[in-house]
Amino acid sequence: MRLLVTGAAGFIGSNYVRNRVERNPDDHVVALDLLTYAGNRANLADLEDRITFVQADIGDTDEVEMVLRDHKIDAVVNFAAESHNSLAILDPALFFRTNVLGTQGLCEAARRAGVGRFHHVSTCEVYGDLPLDDDAAIFTEESPYAPRTPYNASKAGGDHVVRAYHETFGLPITITNCANNFGPYQFPEKVLPLFTTLALDDQPLPMYESSDNRREWIHALDHADAIDLILDRGVVGETYHVGTGVELSVKQICDLVLSTLDKPSSLVVTVPDRPGHDRRYLLDWSKIKRELGWEPKIPVEDGIRDTIRWYADNRAWWEPLRDRAPVVESGWTADGRPA
Regarding 150 and contact with ligand NAD (CB under 6 A), the answer is: no
Strand partners, 49: none
Q: According to the binding rule CB under 6 A, does residue 152 interact with ligand NAD?
A: no
Position with the least CB separation from ligand NAD: 10
Half-sphere exposure of 190 (CA within 13 A, CB side): 19
Contact between 61 and ligand NAD by CB under 6 A: the answer reads no
Which segment (67-75, 126-134, 176-184, 317-325) binds ligand NAD by CB under 6 A?
Answer: 176-184
Candidate list 61, 85, 98, 104; residue touching ligand NAD; CB under 6 A: 98
Candidate list 20, 111, 155, 277; residue touching ligand NAD; CB under 6 A: 155
Our finding on whether 181 is near ligand NAD (CB under 6 A) is yes
Contact status: 33 vs ligand NAD (CB under 6 A): yes
Site map 233..262 versus ligand NAD, x via CB under 6 A? ------------------------------
Which residue stretch of 19-27, 81-89, 229-237, 279-287 sits at the interface with ligand NAD (rule: CB under 6 A)?
A: 81-89
Q: How far apart are CA 321 and CA 90, in angstroms?
A: 20
Q: Which of 30, 59, 239, 311 binds ligand NAD (CB under 6 A)?
A: 59
Asked if 157 touches ligand NAD (CB under 6 A), the answer is no
Q: Which stretch binds ligand NAD (CB under 6 A): 10-18, 132-140, 233-241, 252-260?
A: 10-18
**Contact status: 11 vs ligand NAD (CB under 6 A):** yes
102 binds ligand NAD (CB under 6 A): yes
- Of the two residues 73 and 178, which places its CB atom closer to ligand NAD in the complex? 178
3-state SS, one letter per residue, for the chain: CEEEEECCCCHHHHHHHHHHHHHCCCCEEEEEECCCCCCCHHHHHHHHHHCEEEECCCCCHHHHHHHHHHCCCCEEEECCCCCCHHHHHHCHHHHHHHHHHHHHHHHHHHHHHCCCEEEEEEEHHHHCCCCCCCCCCCECCCCCCCCCCHHHHHHHHHHHHHHHHHHHHCCCEEEEEECEEECCCCCCCCHHHHHHHHHHCCCCEEEECCCCCEEEEEEHHHHHHHHHHHHHHCCCCCEEEECCCCEEEHHHHHHHHHHHHCCCHHHEEEECCCCCCCCECCECCHHHHHHHCCCCCCCHHHHHHHHHHHHHHCHHHHHHHHHHCCCCCCCECCCCCEC
Among 3, 4, 12, 100, binds ligand NAD (CB under 6 A): 12
Q: Report how far residue 228's alpha carbon sits from residue 16's, in angstroms, rounded to the nearest whole number.
A: 9
Pick from 68, 79, 109, 118: which binds ligand NAD (CB under 6 A)?
79
State yes or no: residue 85 binds ligand NAD (CB under 6 A).
no
121 near ligand NAD (CB under 6 A): yes
For ligand NAD, the binding residues in 260-299 under the rule CB under 6 A are none
Binding status of residue 35 toward ligand NAD by CB under 6 A: yes
The residue count of the chain comes to 339
Contact residues for ligand NAD, defined by CB under 6 A? 6-7, 9-13, 33-36, 38-39, 57-59, 79-83, 98, 102, 121, 123, 155, 178, 180-181, 187
